[in-house]
Copies of this chain bind each other. A is one copy, B any other.
């Protein structure tokens, strides 16, 4: 199904060839390597975790992101230490984790969590091209609230230039997930202990209008009915 023309990874028929780093070894049935699954998780998540090495030691930081096709984008101020490090083309590892439920078994040992997650390895590239940078900046905004970009005061050239955007190609990536009820020891099923799953998800509360909001400005539908689950 997957045609590899070299020892690395590449796309073919919607699948990303696993590498030694992305192949899920613990509970291999939980690993998924198709683009649709990976993209769906990335599109639902809002915060990614970016890990890199500074002076031989690991650093991981949460940050917002966006996706366009097979590229994951992160951005920030040119003064950001993280972005200054990353734009030198060093290795990164990025994860996005969607916690979907607490798996409550009859023993502590079999407690678990339901989740979907993605891990991406690679080297981030500084995006210099103005058009790609502008498209990425649009993607960040559309990622949090679809449709918002067009309702905003347009981005200025200075703002585009004053933002550092990095791209990470989704060429070495995999997804992992757990779903379903707890798996207890056979002998424990007869115990009078409640077991099951408590589903969890990110939910929006009541919107808080900016105290400086002008009169008569209506709340957009996309914000009033914002929902993240099953986004794609």
Which stretch of A5-13, A32-40, A125-133, A202-210 is in the interface? A202-210
Per-residue interface assignment for chain A, residues 144 to 183, with 1 indicating a CB less than 8 Å from any chain B CB and 0 otherwise = 1100110111011001000100000000000000000110
Q: In the assembly, what is the distance between CA of A212 and CA of B184, in Å?
A: 10
Q: Which partner residue on chain B sits nearest A190 by CB separation? A: B214
Please state the number of chain copies in the assembly. Answer: 2
A100-133 CB contacts (< 8 Å) to partner B: 101-102, 104-109, 111, 113, 115, 117, 119, 121
How distant is A124 from chain B, measured CB to nearest CB, in Å?
11
Q: In the assembly, what is the distance between CA of A101 and CA of B102, in Å?
A: 22
Q: In the assembly, what is the distance between CA of A95 and CA of B52, in Å?
A: 13
Q: Which partner residue on chain B sits nearest A54 by CB separation? A: B21
Flag whether A69 is at the interface (Cβ < 8 A): no
| A191 near B153: Cβ-Cβ < 8 Å | yes
Flag whether A193 is at the interface (Cβ < 8 A): yes
Contacts A25-B81, A51-B60 given; indicate if A181 touches B196 (C-beta within 8 A): no
| A140 near B111: Cβ-Cβ < 8 Å | yes
Flag whether A49 is at the interface (Cβ < 8 A): yes
| B200 near A207: Cβ-Cβ < 8 Å | no
| B97 near A47: Cβ-Cβ < 8 Å | yes
Contacts A137-B108, A155-B107 given; indicate if A205 touches B194 (C-beta within 8 A): no
A1-30 CB contacts (< 8 Å) to partner B: 21, 25-26
Q: In the assembly, what is the distance between CA of A5 and CA of B226, in Å?
A: 51
Chain B residue numbers with a CB within 8 Å of A156 are: 109
Q: A46-B102, A193-B217, A194-B218 are in contact. List 4 more A-B contacts (CB 8 A).
A: A58-B59, A59-B93, A107-B159, A199-B206
